[in-house]
Structure 1
Amino acid sequence: MSKVLFVCLGNICRSPMAEAVFRSKVKEAGLERQIDIDSAGTGDWHLGEPPHEGTRSILKSHGISYDGMKSRLVKTEDFNDYTYIIAMDASNIRNLQTFAPDSYSASIHKLLEFAPDASNGDVPDPYYTGNFNEVFEMVDESCERLLAYIRNREGI
């Protein structure tokens, strides 16, 4: 089974949005038994909280479930428990490097590596910008391409 962990700063806006969108795409493709999905944050300000109201609103408007999602912190074990760790921006990558054990098996990427048309390599944080629609569009396109990448790489 492939396991995908989406990571952002507080785990209430971008990474839970990506988790929910990707989970929806995986379910639509009938791959729920082949791909496990979660999200986490590098900061502990919102531990145990549900996704941000803006994230919930945009997901709801697209008919995407976020039921049961709660913010959690990245753990050292995640680097070996997950096949792919997908960060939202360069700052998240730097933060992940501080959590990472000396050796690990996960493949770490920025989400927008899977959206070649993106002018900026970082998904902006709507917690600060308020632009949940723009972020949703980036996440949706990138998750579609990420799924294709994983299907090709894993042969599923």
Structure 2
Amino acid sequence: MRSILFVCLGNICRSPTAEGLMLNHLAAAGLSRHARVDSAGIGGWHAGDPPDRRAIAAARKRGVDLAPLRARQVRPADFSDFDLIVGMDRQNVADLNRLAPAGSTARIGLCLEEALGLAGEVPDPYYQDERAFDAVFDLCDRAARAFMEKLRAGS
């Protein structure tokens, strides 16, 4: 795995949190040049918008800056530009499988399953309070750390 795309519904909560964490871990390990990381949403409602202010706040508390990130929608080219595309929940994965063009080369999977071998989902915190964003940050951090180990191992 040399490139990973994190995907959630609108690309303003879960997937930019995962992207920001992965970028942060890559930079800390001096591996930024060795991997490509991005995030996108199934829908384009928030295209061009920064992450949700609560996601930014949850990350900022732990030294991760999500503010420069901007939402975008999944594109057909993503399915050949990335090695791995992970949805934050099962509906995201189903949508990705539906959107994948013929001849796609990217592997599509569930984020926590691909990272940690867990069948669970990263829950959408959008309609909840700040504690839900903190919990999402923690889950995404565990996943990002596991993806870092996979990258180091060359898998």
TM-score between both structures, scaled by the size of structure 1 = 0.91
Cα shift readout 1:81-109 (whole Å, capped 9, x = no counterpart) = 01111210100001111210112111222
- Distance in 2 between the 1:111 and 1:54 partners? 21
- Distance in 2 between the 1:92 and 1:137 partners? 20
- Does the residue aligned with 2:154 lie in a helix, a strand or coil? helix
**Partner residue in 2 for 1:45:** 45
1:48-63 to structure 2, matched below 5 A, reads 48-63=48-63
Q: Does 1:147 pair with 2:144? A: no
- Distance in 2 between the 1:21 and 1:133 partners? 13
- Does the residue aligned with 1:92 lie in a helix, a strand or coil? helix
**Partner residue in 1 for 2:109:** 109
User: Runs ≥4 in structure 1, deviation > 2 angstroms?
Assistant: none
Assess if the C-alpha contact under 8 Å between 2:96 and 2:108 holds in 1.
no
The answer for unaligned runs of 5 or more in structure 2 is none
Moved more, 44-53 or 63-72: 63-72
Over the residues paired in the alignment, what is the CA RMSD in angstroms?
1.5
Q: Does 1:35 pair with 2:29? A: no
AA aligned to 1:121 is G
TM-score between both structures, scaled by the size of structure 2 = 0.92
AA aligned to 1:126 is P
Q: Does 1:134 pair with 2:135? A: yes
Cα shift readout 1:9-56 (whole Å, capped 9, x = no counterpart) = 000000000000011011111111101111000012211100001100
The answer for unaligned runs of 5 or more in structure 1 is none
Assess if the C-alpha contact under 8 Å between 2:5 and 2:84 holds in 1.
yes
AA aligned to 1:128 is Y
Q: CA deviation at 1:67?
A: 4.0
- Distance in 2 between the 1:150 and 1:137 partners? 20
